[in-house]
Structure 1
Amino acid sequence: MDSIGSGSLRDQAAREQILYENRLNTLSQERDARALEARKAQERFSTALDQISVMQSALLASEERLKELETGINVIQSTLRRTVKERDVARAEMAEAEALADGAVEVARAASSKDTTATLDFLTDALNLAAEERDAMAALAAEATLTVDDMLLDRRLAEERNDAIFSQLEDAVSVSIEPLDDIFARAGLNSNSILEAIRRGYSGQGGPLTPLKFSTKGEEPGLDERRANGILGKMDRMNLYRIALQKTPFALPVKGAYRFTSGFGPRWGRMHNGTDFAAAHGSPIYATADGVVTKADWSSGYGRLIKIQHEFGIETRYAHLAKIRVKVGQRVSRGDRIGDMGNSGRSTGTHLHYEVRVGGKPVNPMTYIKAARDVF
C-alpha cells in the first residue's frame, strides 16, 4: 500500500533495497553459526583421536605388564619344583642318617665309651642339620605358593583392566567412525571403494597399526588379540578416511564474508553446471581438496580458469578469477590459496563460479559442501 500510495519509484526501490540487505545480513549470520558449529565438531573429532591414542598406549603398557607377570609365574613355578626336589633329597638324607644312628647304637655297645660318645655327637649334628634344611625347604615352598597366588591375582586384575580399556577403546572408535561413514554416504560416494583406493596408494607396512601377534607357535589368536586387532582395524579405517577427506572436495572454496548468488541447475534456459559465490573483488580462492593443477589459463566464457584433478576421478573448476596463483602441474593441498575472485570472462559481476565434476560429468557442488557441514 505504501508503494502504491507513494507515487515515487525511487522510494519503492529504497524500501526494497533495505529489505534485501536485511535478508542478506540474516543469511550471513546463519552461515557464521554453521561455520562455528563445524569448527566445534572438528575440535571434538580431534579430541576423540587424542583419547584413542592415550588408550592405545595404556593398552600396550598393560600387555607388557601381562607378559612380565607370565614370566614371573614361570620363574616361581620352576623355583617351586626345584625346592620340592631338594626337600625330597633332604628327607632321603635324613632317613639315611636315622638308619646310621640306629646302626651306631649297635656299634656303641661294642666300642669304647669314648668312641661311642664321638659317634653319637656326629650323628646328632647331622640329624639337626638335616632337620634345619627340611624346615627351610618347607618354608621356601610355602612362600613360593603364596607368591604364585599373588601373581595369579595380579594377572586376573590385569585382565579385568584390559577388558575395561578394550571396551572404552571400542566405544570411542565406533563413535568416531560413524560420522565419517555418514559424510561419504551423504555425498553419494562408495566409501568402501574409496578406502580401497587409498589403501592401494598407501600400502606401506609396519607402524602402530600392524596387527598384533602374541603367539610365536602358530596358535590361534586369543580373545584379547582379536579385540585388539579389531580396534586397530577400525583405527586404520579412520586413518584412511582422514586421507580420503583431504582428497575429496568437501571444503568451501571461499572463506570470510560471501554471498551465495546462484545454484546448480537450469538457469535462463541453459544448464548452470556449478555454484556461484560473490564477495569483494580480489577475495582469496582456496583449493577444496588435495590435487594437481591441470589448467591455469584463460578459457573463453570461464575467463581466468583453474582446473584441479583430484583422486577418485573428481575434478574441480574455479572460474572468472581476477588472478591465478598456481601453475599447471603444481600439486596443491586443501586450503591452499590458488587465485583471487574477479569478473573475467562471461560474467555480470564479481563472483566465483565453482564446479565439481565426477568422471567428467558435472554434479552439484553443494552435495559435498552440505555433507561435510551436516556431519561436522
Structure 2
Amino acid sequence: MRRALAIRLHDLLERHFPDRRVFLRSDTDTRFIRLRPGTQLIAVTGTCLFVAWTIIATAVVVMDSIGAGNFREQARRELETYEARLNALAAERDSRAQEAVAAQDRFSSALAQISAMQSELLASETRRRELETGLEVVQRTLRRAMSAREAAEHEVARLASAVDAGQAGRPGIAPGAEGDPTVDVLTAALADAAHERDRTMAEARDALREADEMAYELRLANERNSEIFSRLEDAMTISVEPLEKMFRKAGLDPDQLIETVRRGYSGRGGPLTPISVSTRGTAPSPEAARANRIMARLDELSLYRLAADKVPLALPVRGGFRYTSGFGMRWGRMHKGTDFAAKQGTPIHATADGVVIHAGWLSGYGQLVKIRHAFGIETRYAHMSRIRVRKGQRVSRGERIGDMGNTGRSTGTHLHYEVRVDGKAINPMTYIKAARDVF
C-alpha cells in the first residue's frame, strides 16, 4: 500500500517535473547535473515562498508607510491645533495681566483716595471738636450774661425802690429835685445798672447769634462727615472684599490669616488709631463708632496687604511662556507642580516674600531653589540653569532668583514650580488663579 502510494506520487512528480539534466561543458570535459523531480519541487517551493514573502513584506512596508504618513499628518494637525490653543491661552494670559495691572492701578488709586479722605475726615473731626468746644464756651458766656442781666434787673428794681423811699421820707423836697446828693448817687447807680443791663443784653444777643452760627457749621460738618464716612465705607467694601475672596479661593481662612499677621505686626499708632475714646465711661458717639469701624477695616486692609506679600500669589515667570504640564498624575506618577516652558535663561522670580532655605543641586530637580514663606508655605523652583540667590538670603516678591534651564531629570528647557503647605504639595494654580481678579 505504501509502495503503491509512493509510486503514484513519483509518477505525478514525473508528469509535472520530469527528470532533467543540466550539462556543464568545458574544453576537455563534459559533465551534467541531474535534477530529480523532488529537487525541482523543493526549488519551485522555495522560489514561491521567497516570492510570497517578498510580496507580503513589500505590502507591509507600503501599508506602514501609508499609515506613518497619515499619523504624521494627524500629528501635524494636532500640533497646529495645540499651538493655536497655546497662542490663544498666551493672548488670554496677556489680557489677564493687563487687567491685573489696571486693577492694581485702580486699587492704588483707591488707597490714595482713602488716605486723602481719611486726612479730610480727621481734619473735619478736629473742626467739629473745636466747634463743640466753642459752643460750650458760648453757652457758658450766655448763661453768665443771663445771670448778670437778672442781677442788674434786681439792682435796678432795688435802687428804684430806694429812690422812691428816700424821696417819700424827706418832706418839703419834691421828687426829682436838684442838688440832693442822695438823689444824684442813686440816679448815677441807676444809670450804671441800666447801662450794664443793656450791655449784657447785647452780649447775650451776640452769644445767641454766634451759637446759631456754630450750630449751623456743626450741622454742615456732620453732613460732610456722614458723606465722607459713606465714601470710606464704600471704598473699604471695594478694597477688602476682593482680598477676602482671594484668600478663601486659595484655601486660607481670612480670620486666622489676619490674626497670624497681627501677631507678627502688633505695632499700633498713626492713622489707624481710634478717632475718639470716651473718658467718662460712656459709649462713644455714633460718628466716633462709625469712624472706629472704618479704622478697623483700614487696619484689616493693611494686614491683608502684608499677608498678600507673604503668600505665593504671583507668577514665577513673566513675559512669553507656556504651560506644558499641570499638577496631578502623569505617566503613572504624581506630578507635584506646574511646568512653565520658555527660552533658555528666562528670568525666574520669587512669588512671595520669604527666606531661601536651599540653593543648589538636588537629584532629579537639578539646580533648585527653595523659599520658606509665612503660614507654613514653601515654594520650589527646579531645573534652573543658573541660581542667583544663596541660602539664608531674604527675598521679596518679584525678585529674580535664577534663570530657566534644563538641569536634572528634564526633557526640555522649563521651570518646575511647586507650592507646599506644611510639607504637602498642592496645586500652584490654586494661588495663581485666586489672585487673577485682584492683582
TM > 0.5: yes
Instruction: Extract unaligned runs of 5+ from structure 1.
Output: none
Residue in structure 1 matched with residue 120 of structure 2 by the alignment: 58
Corresponding position of 2:139 = 77
- Give 5+ residue unaligned stretches, structure 2: 1-64
Asked if 1:92 is matched to 2:145, the reply is: no
SS of alignment partner, residue 307 of structure 1? strand
Residues in 1 aligned to 2:75 and 2:199: alpha-carbon distance in whole angstroms = 109
CA distance in 2, matches of 1:230, 1:279: 48
Match of 1:311, SS? coil
Cα-Cα RMSD = 2.7
Larger radius of gyration, structure 1 or 2? 2
> Is 1:170–2:237 an aligned residue pair?
no
Instruction: Look up the SS of the partner of 2:356 in the other structure.
Output: strand
Alignment of 1:187-226 (within 5 A): 187-226=250-289
Find out whether 1:263 has 2:331 as its counterpart: no
- CA distance, structure 1, for counterparts of residue 68 and residue 350 of structure 2: 50
SS at match of 1:276: strand
Matched, 1:279 2:342: yes
Measure how far apart 1:238 and its partner are: 0.9
Work out whether 1:68 is the aligned partner of 2:120. no
TM-score normalised according to structure 2 size: 0.79
Give the SS at the match of 2:122: helix
What one-letter code is carried by the residue in structure 2 that aligns with 1:321?
M
| Shift of residue 93, structure 1, vs aligned partner | 2.9
Deviation at 1:301, TM superposition (A): 0.7
Secondary structure, counterpart of 2:385 in structure 1: strand
TM-score when normalising by structure 1 = 0.91
Aligned equivalents of 1:99, 1:19: Cα separation in 2: 116
Q: Which whole-Å CA distance do the structure 2 matches of 1:143 and 1:355 have between them?
A: 76
Q: Is the 8 A contact 1:182 1:375 kept in 2?
A: no
**What letter corresponds to residue 356 of structure 1 in structure 2?**
V
Contact kept in structure 2, 1:107 and 1:116, CA below 8 Å: no
The alignment partner of 2:294 has SS state of helix
Q: Does the residue aligned with 2:271 lie in a helix, a strand or coil?
A: coil
How many residues align structurally? Answer: 374
Greater displacement, 202-211 / 298-307: 202-211
Q: Which residue of 2 aligns with 1:251?
A: 314
Q: Name the SS of the counterpart of 2:179 in structure 1.
A: helix
Q: Work out the CA distance in 2 between the residues paired with 1:212 and 1:131.
A: 49
Question: Is the 2:314–2:352 contact (alpha carbons within 8 Å) kept by the matching residues of 1?
Answer: yes
Measured at CA, do residues 193 and 79 of structure 1 come closer, stay the same or move farther in structure 2, by a change above 3 Å? same
Calculate percent identity across the aligned residue pairs: 59
Structure 1 pair 10–171 and aligned structure 2 pair: CA distance change class (3 A):
closer
Counterpart position of 1:25: 87
Instruction: Kindly indicate whether residue 193 of structure 2 is the aligned counterpart of residue 135 of structure 1.
Output: no
Q: Does 1:361 align with 2:420?
A: no
TM-superposed CA distance for 1:90, in Å, is 2.1
Distance in 2 separating the partners of 1:253 and 1:295: 17
Tell me if structure 1 keeps the 8 A contact 2:167–2:173: no
Give how far 1:108 is off: 6.2
AA aligned to 1:210 is T
- Greater Cα shift, 23-32 or 268-277: 23-32
Q: C-alpha offsets along residues 66-85 of structure 1, whole Å, 9 cap, x if unaligned? A: 11111111111121122122
